[in-house]
Amino acid sequence: MEVQATTTTAAMKRIYLIINCIILSIGNCGGPLIMRLYFIRGGKRIWFSSWLETGGCPIILIPLLVSYMLRRRTTSNTQLFFMKPRVFWAAAVIGTFTGLDDYLYAYGVAKLPVSTSSLLIATQLAFTAVFAFLLVKQKFTAYSINAVVLLTVGAVVLGLHASGDRPKGESDKQYFVGFFMTLGAAAMYGLILPLVELMYLKAGQALTYTLVLEIQMVMCFFATAFCTVGMLINKDFQAIPREAREYELGEGKYYLVVIWSAIIWQCFFLGAIGIIFYSSSLLSGIAITVLLPVTELLAVMFYHEKFQSEKGVSLFLSLWGFMSYFLGEKVKISKMKKNDMITESEMSNHHQQSVATP
């Protein structure tokens, strides 16, 4: 019965992991595209665009409220929040880092085509791997190393003709500032993912998905607060109504783009932290990276960006790397099950021998 319960728990964990991968896919592919739509149709406020990446965090209150109501059904004396002060302040610090990362990324998307910015963001996997090794002692196997190498090579292949995608009328200075801002965003997020995993490990309290949602709420609040300060300094709030009236697609569609941008980016963050909770920061980084070529294809379809042969090669390498990682996970799980069965068999034999001994 115990083995059956463990198997059921593992099966549910895989289901939740798949759900979070789907949520991440929506945010990871849709976020850059809708952000780019904001800029190419007349949007110019970088701080406002970065604010939208976490500004949709009140959406998290819905599942938190549902969780609270379900707990109230079982007990009248239930906690409103699970988070302890230590976890709160850790989430606040990581959230502030996230706000800075939002700005760096938004600046890059404003100056670079989706294909080029996706190339640079793909390098975050290498940063995630390094920081995961240093902070949470992530163990690498031949499969995971192979996945990191393939995905990184795929990103390099994408960069072979990146300069050919430079927007018309953009100066060299603007292009290269956007280039290094995006690279900085990749490095920053490569640090944030392992920091979140480290916070989970050092939380000092039972980790549930409800607590994970509370952590995400705090992180997004402080990231949004960071960007709000930037908006106030840059006077973005006064400029938004004027920008909406002058937007190429019309004022109504301007606000639709803004609202959906906030919603879709929440899918990205919820999916990313969910994968960390149910697996690891390395898998979260790999999932983000493997979806980048999909974003490339969507950019070609919707924005008519060039699709060179290098992008096809990158897509192949990324899928190969992703499959390599999951093959390694399957092998690891099989070995763990085999070892558990051997241990259980040895304990059973030992017990039988003890009973048989007079």
pLDDT tens, 16-50? 888 998 999 999 889 989 998 999 898 989 999 99
Is 356 within a domain?
no
Crossing angle for the helix pair 46-55 and 2-40, nearest 10 degrees? 160
Higher pLDDT, 287 or 167: 287
Higher pLDDT, 295 or 249: 249
Most confident of the following: 175-179, 209-213, 289-293, 294-298: 209-213
Tens digit of pLDDT for each residue in 235-244?
A: 999 999 999 9
Residue 295 confidence (pLDDT): 82
Alpha helices in the chain (DSSP H): 2-40, 46-55, 61-74, 85-111, 114-121, 124-135, 142-158, 172-201, 209-234, 236-246, 251-278, 281-290, 292-303, 309-356
* Exposure on the CB side of residue 66, measured as CA atoms within 13 A: 7
Most confident of the following: 76-85, 131-140, 183-192, 343-352: 183-192
Q: Are the beta carbons of 103 and 168 closer than 8 angstroms?
A: no
The domain tally of the chain equals 1
Residue 135 confidence (pLDDT): 81
Q: Are the beta carbons of 99 and 227 closer than 8 angstroms?
A: yes
Is 8 exposed, middle or buried, given 0-12, 13-18 or 19+ CB atoms closer than 10 A? exposed
Mean pLDDT estimate for the chain:
81
**Which residue has 């390098």 as its token pair?**
123
Is 358 within a domain?
no
Residue 274 confidence (pLDDT): 86
Residue 159 confidence (pLDDT): 58
Is 329 within a domain?
yes
* Exposure on the CB side of residue 67, measured as CA atoms within 13 A: 16
Is 296 within a domain?
yes
Residue 126 confidence (pLDDT): 75
Spatial separation of the C-alpha atoms in residues 226 and 103, rounded to whole Å:
10
Quick count: other Cβ atoms within 10 Å of Cβ 221? 19
Q: What average pLDDT score do residues 196-225 get?
A: 88
Higher pLDDT, 116 or 83: 83
**55-73 as b/e, with b when 16 or more CB fall inside 10 Å?**
bbbeebeeebeebeeeeee
Is 9 within a domain?
yes
Is 354 within a domain?
no
Residue 2 confidence (pLDDT): 44
Q: Are the beta carbons of 120 and 158 closer than 8 angstroms?
A: no
**Which residue has 């980084």 as its token pair?**
285
Of 270, 269, 292, 274, nearest to 125 by C-alpha is: 292
Residue 4 confidence (pLDDT): 44
Spatial separation of the C-alpha atoms in residues 297 and 8, rounded to whole Å:
37
Residue 336 confidence (pLDDT): 67
Higher pLDDT, 93 or 140: 93
Residue 46 confidence (pLDDT): 94
Residue % of the chain over a pLDDT of 90: 28
Residue 346 confidence (pLDDT): 59
Tens digit of pLDDT for each residue in 313-352?
A: 777 777 777 677 767 767 776 776 676 666 656 555 555 5
Residue 5 confidence (pLDDT): 44
Q: Which amino acid is at 41?
A: R
Is 355 within a domain?
no
Residue 158 confidence (pLDDT): 61
Instruction: State yes or no: pLDDT of 180 exceeds 80.
Output: yes
Is 357 within a domain?
no
Q: Which residues contact 341 (CB under 8 A, 6 or more apart)?
A: none
Q: What average pLDDT score do residues 97-118 get?
A: 87
Residue 3 confidence (pLDDT): 44
Q: Which residues contact 236 (CB under 8 A, 6 or more apart)?
A: 45, 47, 48, 51, 230
Query: Which of 106-115, 171-180, 249-258, 261-270 is predicted least confidently?
Result: 171-180
- Domain enclosing residue 211, as ranges: 2-348
Spatial separation of the C-alpha atoms in residues 305 and 196, rounded to whole Å:
35
Spatial separation of the C-alpha atoms in residues 219 and 126, rounded to whole Å:
23
Instruction: State both tokens at 51.
Output: 């604010």
Tens digit of pLDDT for each residue in 142-166?
A: 777 787 787 777 767 765 655 555 6
